[in-house]
Structure 1
Amino acid sequence: MLINNLQFLTGTDPVVIARQLIGVELVTTLGGVETAVRITETEAYWAPDDRASHAFGNKRTKRTEVFFHQPGTAYVYLCYGIHEMFNVVTGPAGTAHAILIRAGEPSRGLEHIKKRRNIETLSPQLSSGPGVLTKALGIDRKLNGHDLLLPNGVVRLEVTGPEVPPSQLIATPRIGIGYAGEPWTSKAWRFYRKDSRFVSRLNAFKER
């Protein structure tokens, strides 16, 4: 059945929400061009305790303030001075939970996605990995703080298919957070769709 109106985003457990976002479409309409991916990979970040979160310890800065906004807010930041990274704030408001969208399979505007990525074929390299996903969809920091639940928003989430069953989801530890230390590096808070080619690091970790 469809998850009506993305109501699951108002939940209080970002790990549960990270699972539920698998299969949801992430859509952009920029300059009259519509492109989208169906989300295949996510990571959950649980503040204020999670040392891998930018909002660890309820740290509030100009950059992290968006974390504390309403569920369904976009958090876009620059990583290593190169890659724009897209996150979904899950709240509730005042609680800095968020989900990093790591990969997706193109579902709309494939030719425009290929042009943005300078890739001629339908391949995982188009939109697998958080840095290239944003390039594929034209997402940058100008969209930071945008409401993803606006029906006609320039960047938005849309439920256009059935919920992905738990049997089709794989859980592993998150990627690239060695600095956070245990127990955070071992928590299986990264999820991807089983058998999908559009995953950033398919064999990075043993499945859990």
Structure 2
Amino acid sequence: MNSTLSPLPKSFYIKPTLEVAKDLLGCVLVKITDEGITSGVIVETEAYLGVNDRAAHSFQNRRTKRTEIMFHEPGLVYTYQMHTHCLVNVVTGGLGIPEAVLIRAVEPLSGIELMLKRRPVSNIKNLTSGPGKLTKALGITMDDYGKAFYNSSLFIAEGKQPLTVEQGTRIGINNSGEAKDYPYRFFIPGNPFVSR
């Protein structure tokens, strides 16, 4: 792995949530554990715009033990459990503005052997092509909740901005009324690790 990878500064996250969701594409998600270092290029994200977004956990200012971190400063880690999976989000929006960006898929970059040990798959395309798949492969857990992406063992480093970005509706939120049609999903077209 490129040893010069270092966390993006806190300032990267201090901008509108939809902008962060787009700008994360091409960046590198890195996780350091005792087992080793794994990383992947972010190829798909989804933005959740808080209070007025029926698909967001913080819709109508819902402040619970789970969503508490969303009300904090941008650049923090919001992990949550969905069924048996842990999903990872970047807190955005600013203090008291509970918005976040879900990292939906990454393209494996380094530590692939370790990723395959954690998530044995016969087809490499299935390794990190979904939000629950990538956390298991990279070793991201609920213990990462509340950490800072700019200052922890889970961080996002600068990558190569994609030439084109596509935008569409988010996945798996059919029960969220009009919010299911918001074009808040961003992905690198043609990348084989995009979830669908």
Same-fold call, TM cutoff 0.5:
yes
Match of 2:160 in 1: 162
Verify the 8 A CA contact 1:114 1:120 in the aligned structure 2: no
Quick one: distance in 2 between partners of 1:194 and 1:15? 18
Q: What CA deviation, in whole Å up to 9, does each residue of 1:139-196 have, x standing for no partner?
A: 111111111101xx2111111x33223xx211110011111101x1111110110110
Match of 2:13 in 1: 9
Aligned AA for 1:146?
K
1:175 paired with 2:158, answer no
The CA RMSD over aligned residues, in Å, is 1.3
Of 109, 112, 126 in structure 2, the residue corresponding to residue 110 of structure 1 is 112
Cα deviation, residue 32, structure 1: 4.8
Tell me which stretches of 4 or more aligned residues in structure 1 moved more than 2 Å: 4-8, 161-165
Write the mapping of 1:13-52 to structure 2, written as runs, cut at 5 A: 13-52=16-55
Identity %: 40
Ranges in structure 2 where 5+ consecutive residues have no aligned partner: 1-7
Write the mapping of 1:49-88 to structure 2, written as runs, cut at 5 A: 49-80=52-83, 82-88=84-90
Quick one: distance in 2 between partners of 1:120 and 1:154? 28
Ranges in structure 1 where 5+ consecutive residues have no aligned partner: 202-208
Verify the 8 A CA contact 1:29 1:155 in the aligned structure 2: yes
Match of 2:143 in 1: 142
Verify the 8 A CA contact 1:22 1:39 in the aligned structure 2: yes
Q: What CA deviation, in whole Å up to 9, does each residue of 1:23-53 have, x standing for no partner?
A: 1111000115100111000000001100000
Give the paired residue count.
Answer: 189
Verify the 8 A CA contact 1:20 1:164 in the aligned structure 2: no
Match of 2:3 in 1: none
Quick one: distance in 2 between partners of 1:174 and 1:112? 30
1:98 paired with 2:100, answer yes
Q: What CA deviation, in whole Å up to 9, does each residue of 1:109-152 have, x standing for no partner?
A: 1111111111255x2200001011100101111111111101xx
SS at match of 2:43: strand
